[in-house]
Amino acid sequence: MARKPLVALVGRPNVGKSTLFNRLVGERLAVTNPIPGTTRDRLGGVFDWHGMLFDVVDTGGIEVYQPKGTRDEAPLAEGSVEFVPQIKAQALIAVQDSDIIVLVVDGTTGITAADEEIAEILRRTQKPVLIAANKADHVDRFKTAVEFYGLGLGEVYPLSAIHGLGVGDLLDGVVAAARETLPELVTMPGDGEEEDQHLKIAIVGRPNVGKSSLTNRLIGAERMIVSPVAGTTRDAIDSEITFHSEPITLIDTAGIRRRGKIEPGVEKYSVLRAMKAIDRCDVALLLIDAIEGITDQDAHIAGYVMEAGKSIVLIVNKWDAVEKDNSTHTAFQQALRERFDFLPDPPMIFISALTGQRIHQVLETAHQVYEGRYTRVPTAEVNRLLRAAMQRHPPPARGTVQLKIYYGSQVRVAPPLFLFHVNDPAMVHFTYRRYLENQLRAEYPFTGTPIRMSFRPRDKDED
Side-by-side strand order, sheet with 405-412: 405-412, 417-422, 452-457
Is residue 1, in this structure, part of any structural domain at all?
no
pLDDT by residue for the chain (463 residues), tens digit each? 456 788 989 888 888 888 898 888 875 444 444 434 434 344 667 888 877 888 888 876 655 444 444 444 444 444 434 434 444 555 566 677 788 999 999 998 889 888 888 888 888 888 999 999 999 887 667 777 889 999 998 899 999 998 888 899 999 999 999 888 877 666 555 544 444 578 999 999 988 899 889 988 998 855 444 444 444 444 456 788 888 888 888 887 876 765 544 344 333 445 566 677 788 899 999 999 999 999 988 998 898 899 889 999 999 999 999 999 999 999 999 999 999 999 999 999 999 999 999 999 999 999 999 999 999 999 999 999 999 999 999 999 988 899 999 999 999 999 999 999 999 999 999 999 999 999 999 999 999 999 999 999 976 544 4
Structural domain includes residue 284? yes
Q: How far apart are CA 302 and CA 86, in angstroms?
A: 31
Identify the domain containing residue 168 by its residue range: 6-181
CATH number of the structural domain spanning residue 388: 3.30.300.20
Measured CA to CA, the distance from residue 141 to residue 190 in angstroms comes to: 39
Return the pLDDT at 441. 95
Select from 373, 393, 410 the last residue of a domain. 373
Q: How far is residue 224's CA from residue 41's CA, in Å, rounded to a whole number?
A: 6
Nearest 5°: CA angle at 375, between 369 and 381?
Answer: 135
Residues in CB range of 286: below 8 A, 6 or more apart: 204, 205, 298, 301, 302, 305, 312, 313, 314, 315
Nearest to 320 by CA among 290, 293, 348: 290
Question: Residue 190 falls within a domain, yes or no?
Answer: no
Residue 37 maps to a domain: yes
Shared-domain flag, residues 25 and 85: yes
Strand segments, DSSP code E, in 80-179 are 100-106, 129-134, 156-158
Q: Among 297, 16, 280, 281, which residue's Cα sits nearest to residue 137?
A: 16
Are 231 and 165 members of one domain? no
| C-alpha–C-alpha distance, residues 381 and 446, integer Å | 15
> Are residues 302 and 397 both part of a single domain?
no
Asked if residue 189 belongs to a domain, the reply is: no
Which of 373, 400, 431 is where one domain is finished? 373
pLDDT digit string, tens, across residues 124-151: 888 999 999 999 887 667 777 889 999 9
Query: Residue 121 and residue 148: Cα distance in Å, rounded?
Result: 16
For every residue of 250-280, DSSP letters joined together read EEE------GGGPPTTHHHHHHHHHHHHHHH
Q: Are residues 37 and 127 in the same domain?
A: yes
**Domain identity same for 115 and 226:** no
Q: Looking at residue 237, what is its pLDDT?
A: 65
- pTM: predicted TM-score of the whole model, two decimal places: 0.60
Q: Does 23 share its domain with 152?
A: yes
- Per DSSP bridges, beta strands 417-422 and 405-412 are antiparallel
CB within 8 Å of 443: residues ≥ 6 apart: 385
Q: In the prediction, which pLDDT does 244 show?
A: 84
What is the pLDDT, as a whole number, of residue 352? 96
Which pLDDT belongs to residue 389? 96
Contact, 95 vs 122, CB < 8 A? yes
Rounded distance, CA 41 to CA 449, Å? 31
DSSP conformation class of 400 = T
What pLDDT, on the 0 to 100 scale, is given for residue 220? 80
User: Looking at the structure, do residues 11 and 140 belong to the same domain, yes or no?
Assistant: yes
pLDDT at 280: 82
3-class DSSP state of 75: coil
Task: Report DSSP state, residue 184.
Answer: T
Is the bond leading into 415 cis (omega within 30 degrees of zero)?
yes
Whole-angstrom CA distances from 399 to 182, 318, 402, 403, 406 are 76, 55, 8, 11, 20
Side chain identity, residue 147: E
Q: Is the same domain home to 115 and 203?
A: no
- Per the CB < 8 A criterion, the answer to whether 36 and 65 are in contact is yes
230 in a structural domain: yes
Tell me, yes or no, whether 80 lies in a domain.
yes
* 3-state secondary structure at position 371: helix
Q: What is the pLDDT of residue 266?
A: 38
Tell me, yes or no, whether 186 lies in a domain: no
Output the CA angle 374-43-195, nearest 5 degrees: 30
DSSP letter for each residue of 53-95: EEEEEE---SS----TTSTT--PPPTT-GGGHHHHHHHHHHHH
Instruction: Count how many residues are written for the chain.
Output: 463
Residue 49: CATH number of its domain: 3.40.50.300
Q: Which tens digits make up the pLDDT trace of 11-53?
A: 888 888 888 988 888 754 444 444 344 343 446 678 888 778 8
Q: State residue 93's pLDDT score.
A: 67
pLDDT, residue 212, reads: 85
Do 407 and 455 fall within a single domain? Answer: yes
Name the strand (E) or helix (H) holding 56: strand 52-58
Number of domains the chain contains: 3
Give yes or no for a contact between 456 and 418, defined as CB atoms under 8 angstroms apart.
no
**Per-residue pLDDT, 366:** 96
Do 365 and 262 have their domain in common? yes
Residue that is last in its domain, among 340, 373, 406:
373
- Residue pair 12/132 in contact (Cβ under 8 Å)? The answer is no
Q: Taking the CA atoms of 435, 441, 446 and 447 in sequence, report the sign of the dihedral they define.
A: positive
Q: Indicate if 76 and 107 belong to the same structural domain.
A: yes
Check whether residue 250 and residue 364 sit in a common domain. Answer: yes
